Amino acid sequence: MKKNIKIAPSLLAANFALLKEEVVAVEDAGAEYLHLDVMDGHFVPNISFGASLIKSIRPYSNLIFDVHLMIDNPDRYISDFVDAGANIICVHAESTKHLNRTIQLIKSYNVKVGVALNPSTPLEAIKYDIDNIDMVLIMTVNPGFGGQKFIPQMLNKIKKLRTIAPNIDIQVDGGINNEISKLVINAGANILVAGSYIFNGNYKEKINSLKS
């Protein structure tokens, strides 16, 4: 089981008037990833930002840019996000008719592949692609908005995935704080996404509290 816990602050919770400073600050505070939620208003009922914003902050950070595409037909935009500086591109299993084709497309750009699963989507959705995936993102809230409460039934899903794939990166996103982090880490997660929890306090203290 993976034990090296990595923290991925979610840019959605940052102060967009001071975006460069926010990105630099979370890196200085000990984050390893920057979680970038791209929403199109169709796949999820919200709109966020696109490749151009990601490209604009890439020069100021050495963080792993973890791009979470909550969009329909993600294949159309993979190259744009690679060009913007993505290190990992995570697509939803529910967003594409041919998941294997999408995974292979992402891999063709020599970036890591993640697949996200909504709370109601079973692990069986990735059963035949698990060996081609670098990271599985278990959504612990329904995607689209920050500040939602963690869905406790997802702990069993994380445990089951860790048993099936002992060496894969398991990322969790939704309702993560210092209490929930203990539960998801014990279940087998090793990459934690947190937005409002980190950005509404002392970044270093909050990041350390998630790891401990």
For 138, the token pair is 């278990």
For 204, the token pair is 């270093």
Dihedral over Cα of 77, 157, 132, 87: its sign: positive
Catalytic (active site) residue 72: no
**What span, in angstroms and rounded, lies between the C-alpha atoms of 35 and 159?**
23
Catalytic residue among 37, 40, 66, 169: 37
Catalytic (active site) residue 169: no
C-alpha distance across the termini of the chain, in Å = 17
Catalytic residue among 40, 66, 169, 173: 173
What amino acid occupies position 115? V
Helix (H, G, I), strand (E, B) or coil at 80: helix
Active site residues: 37, 173
